[in-house]
Homo-oligomer: A and B are copies of this chain.
Amino acid sequence: MNLVDIYFEMKKDVEYIENQLELSIDTSVTELYQSSTHLLKAGGKRIRPVFVLLGGKWGDYDVSRLKYVAVPLELIHMATLVHDDVVDNADKRRGRDTVKTKWDNKVAMYTGDYILARALSIVTELKIPRLHQILSGAIVEMVKGEIEQVRALHSWDQNFRMYLRRIKRKTALLIAISCQMGAIASGATEELVRKMYWYGYNVGMAFQITDDILDFTGTEKQLGKPAGSDLRQGNVTLPALYTARHGKSSEQFQKWIREDTFWNHVDEAIQLVRKDEGIAFSQRLAERYIARARQIISDLPDNSTKKSLVGVADFIIDRKF
């Protein structure tokens, strides 16, 4: 089952969530409404809501309850984007002006705060304390990941383990709890809740690694920004880390790092990473995570939800954008 089929099958519910997302933004404070709506309209794949809905299929599926989980999870994702754009001083995202460009850093900061608080407020509509605890706890971890990422910027003093911990906090955790909270909200069994968490975790790790690969291999048109943007911004991801440590160009990389001139050669370095073995290595690691995700759900009943979960996993590894 490919992604288009999955979205098609869930179309009505995904559209309902999209609609609820728009309604979640208060219209009474003009700046907030405009900046939040600008963010919303920038779109995105809405994969977190899709994971919530898929998680919700393992209990009593009820989209009018699941929205109280799906909307917050997409909002949290949006809030981190708008705060990241402040920190990264990013003018564009997905080819559109960011909130901080269109308004300013103040509005961007408060928009992020507002969306974050709304997310936590919406989830409390379901009187299930465990959901509130998981969501707020995950945000704590995410912010820790963001700070770690700031610290790791332009640093070669890091290893694979640190990279993996960072992407866990940055991406995998939110996808893991999307699946998990969907299952909890629908009253699924503990075993299914646990499986959904670990399925999401592994898919999320693969998703971020793939993102980090595509940042090197994609075209500017596909990415909405020049290839190699991560490294150019000092964000050392797995393909670059591998190249620097074990790749064909590792000697060249180490020389630049030793001489403290690496960041003067970053355009050359990007070209070297594109041709080096770090890409294939990262791809294999992403595939291992996907294999694990598939394995976790392998003993679930062969229904259409399982097929969708497998389909999403496969899409993530094969995607070109």
Q: Which A residues contact B (CB, under 8 angstroms)?
A: 26, 28-32, 83, 86-87, 105-107, 109-110, 112-114, 116-118, 120-121, 124-125, 127-129, 132-133, 136-137, 139-140, 142-144, 146-148, 150-151
This protein's copies in its complex: 2
Q: How far is the CA of A26 from the CA of B133 in the complex (A)?
A: 17
Residue of B nearest to A106 (CB): B87
Interface centre among A29, A112, A136 (most CB of B within 10 A): A136
A105 partner residues in chain B, CB cutoff 8 A: 86, 105
Is there an interface contact between B147 and A110, defined as CB atoms closer than 8 Å?
yes
**Chain A interface mostly:** helix
Given known contacts A120-B120, A124-B136, A140-B121, A146 and B110 CB-to-CB distance under 8 angstroms: yes
**Assembly CA distance A86 to B136 (angstroms):** 23
| CA gap between A109 and B108 in the complex, in Å | 11
Residues of B within 8 A of A147 (CB): 29, 31-32, 107, 110, 114
Residue with the greatest number of chain B CB neighbours at <10 A, chosen from A83, A113, A146: A113
A121 — which chain B residues lie within 8 A by C-beta?
A: 133, 136-137, 139-140
A212 nearest CB across to chain B (Å)? 21
Asked if B124 contacts A129 (CB within 8 A), the reply is: yes
A124 nearest CB neighbor, chain B only = B133
